[in-house]
Structure 1
């Protein structure tokens, strides 16, 4: 489960899409850029291959709830 999920616009002009996201997963901190097309670009370490698909799914759900709603 993702905890402490945070997001902020990538650019000061909020009309331009793109967001910096950060969160914890399995007690480890992760940071990424969430692009307008849904692509996730990891800016540091990324989840293990076994977890990456489920983490991306959770991120998409959180972004839909927080940003697009």
Structure 2
């Protein structure tokens, strides 16, 4: 909904569920807004191939590489 792009460096060994929480907190802090809804219910998608990312897996297991674009919905 925000329609903005952000660059993040993430640890490729950390499960994406943890990455999602950290990213959400950083975006809300930067934009000075509160999280709308339950962060647990947010989904992460690979913008290149339009597949949902498995949040119990890490970036490497999901096939993400440097420069990969992720959608958080």
> Into which bin does the TM-score normalised by the smaller protein fall?
0.3 to 0.5
TM normalised by structure 1 equals 0.32
Query: Bigger relative contact order, structure 1 or 2, given CA contacts below 8 A and separation 6+?
Result: 2
Which TM-score applies when normalising by structure 2? 0.31
